[in-house]
Structure 1
């Protein structure tokens, strides 16, 4: 059931390749990813500079048949059929190059695999993108009992933030995201003493707006249970949506594609914290990647290769426009 799978694990998207053997990996499979599949992904241009997603239903045999002739090892990468779906999505404010690199890195981890990525379904969250795959699930439905994984950003912020501040901030962005074309919204909350908190809400673009709202409300309901007043930030991750706040700016507030709300919050009791941490420099890339395993069981590398081939092939031949509300 959805309520029993593990909490999100922390595995940097760029470092997961060392765990290739967990799903029966081999040097030949690693070469397949590095030489043939990832270059396809990197060559794909980000349409319009905005968010995009794709979903593809296929069997492993169809994926092999459609693979490029240059993929000489394709017959060894997939050995059984299986119907898998994949969803790739970047934040609305993420530039094309960063989007491609983020998805390529996360896709490489799934292909290289760690043992928590050998599940029949999972969602891979990075700071700038998400990658979801599952067997027999097209992601258009939403289960109100979806598990919520709570993840704290590493270290302490040096702040003490009243719970009311992130609660009101995340409630605001959660209310705005369902109406956004990209199912994403951000916010900046100013509070006593010159402090600022940054928040983001995002749903997968496959689910309808009412389901997006329900998913985000469910995530928000976990905030008070797990809140840590001294943490640098917090993420509430579900299969269909996520909420995040942090003491440092982690999104592009100038992007015309990302709605950003501004709030001034005076916490009850007049508590004030010191100024917020300085925003990261443009080159700053905090290594925060989270994986949520949805169901137990290990289909092995064949299933993961089927997913990867389907993802790359469908991405290579088409992109699907985001739904309009």
Structure 2
């Protein structure tokens, strides 16, 4: 079991509800707000950050797709931990299952394996007959579909999270947040892991901490596009909030006023 996270902060969630199909994966059909606060945790066995199930493509209990999907999830369990990323396909034609698993760049092999295992088990419970699904934990992302989504920016399948606490000087804080995340985006897209973390001074002995990451099926150019698009949503997501995230199926950022990555 992973250690309890230090970041037990009240958060709020805004998300899009996708209508997935075999031709257009994870397309948005509506937008709404969940008006509840929850405590962010990274203990496996607890709820994931969020998940989506395909609403239009299903398979039956005895379908070859189920067999291929089970094998795919097993493959990702072995592929992802050594490098923090795994991608693969199993089957042919309408029974082909495509998937990827991404672990946060600072996560150990052991914790990566634990997260991918939990994600595979939990998403099958939540989306038992859906050909496409995606689930996010604090430490990993797992995504699969009967459509080939590799190398394509998934900007539609996303959600926001923000801390309910507000800073005293929103304008200055927002500028510093955007500057830090933009600097990290410039750094991440030219690294093999498409991942970067960093910090900046806020004054009064306080610091701002940030993280950006892309799935490694994207090209470096598309990673930059994905991150820049996410960062452009800061005003909508997290205006003047002490912490926040924009998370999609291809990239994400997070910032906080406390350290949240592993040393």
Aligned mates of 1:59, 1:170 — CA distance in 2: 40
DSSP 3-state at the match of 2:225: helix
Is 1:51–2:78 an aligned residue pair? Answer: no
Structure 2 spans left out of the alignment, 5+ residues: 1-23, 49-54, 59-69
Shift of 1:92: 2.4
Is 1:156–2:182 an aligned residue pair? Answer: no
Counterparts of 1:133-282 in structure 2, within 5 Å, are 133-142=144-153, 146-153=156-163, 155-156=164-165, 162-231=173-242, 233-253=243-263
Shift of 1:148: 4.3
Does structure 2 conserve the Cα–Cα contact (< 8 Å) formed by 1:148 and 1:219? no
Does structure 2 conserve the Cα–Cα contact (< 8 Å) formed by 1:216 and 1:243? yes
Shift of 1:180: 1.0
DSSP 3-state at the match of 1:205: coil
Q: Indicate how the Cα distance of structure 1 residues 95 and 248 shifts in structure 2: closer, same or farther if over 3 A, else same.
A: same
Higher RCO (C-alpha 8 Å, min separation 6): 1
Is 1:107–2:117 an aligned residue pair? Answer: no
Aligned mates of 2:209, 2:29 — CA distance in 1: 31
Is 1:4–2:4 an aligned residue pair? Answer: no
DSSP 3-state at the match of 1:94: coil
Aligned mates of 2:118, 2:166 — CA distance in 1: 28
Does structure 2 conserve the Cα–Cα contact (< 8 Å) formed by 1:236 and 1:243? yes
Shift of 1:110: 0.8
Does structure 1 conserve the Cα–Cα contact (< 8 Å) formed by 2:162 and 2:237? no
Shift of 1:191: 1.2
Shift of 1:160: 5.5
14, 38, 41: which is aligned to 2:45? 14
Shift of 1:4: 2.5
DSSP 3-state at the match of 2:90: coil
Shift of 1:208: 0.5
Does structure 1 conserve the Cα–Cα contact (< 8 Å) formed by 2:237 and 2:244? no
Aligned mates of 1:45, 1:170 — CA distance in 2: 29
Aligned mates of 1:227, 1:58 — CA distance in 2: 42
Shift of 1:138: 3.6
Aligned mates of 1:217, 1:43 — CA distance in 2: 30
Shift of 1:211: 0.6
Query: Could you state the TM-score of these two structures normalised by the residue count of structure 1?
Result: 0.55
| Alignment length (residue pairs) | 210
Larger radius of gyration: 1
Aligned mates of 1:3, 1:252 — CA distance in 2: 33
Does structure 2 conserve the Cα–Cα contact (< 8 Å) formed by 1:102 and 1:129? yes
Aligned mates of 2:30, 2:195 — CA distance in 1: 26
Q: Indicate how the Cα distance of structure 1 residues 164 and 43 shifts in structure 2: closer, same or farther if over 3 A, else same.
A: closer
Aligned mates of 1:128, 1:142 — CA distance in 2: 21
Question: Root-mean-square deviation (CA), in Å?
Answer: 3.7
> Counting strand residues as a fraction of each chain, which structure ranks higher?
2
> Counting helix residues as a fraction of each chain, which structure ranks higher?
1
Q: Indicate how the Cα distance of structure 1 residues 45 and 227 shifts in structure 2: closer, same or farther if over 3 A, else same.
A: closer
Shift of 1:43: 8.3
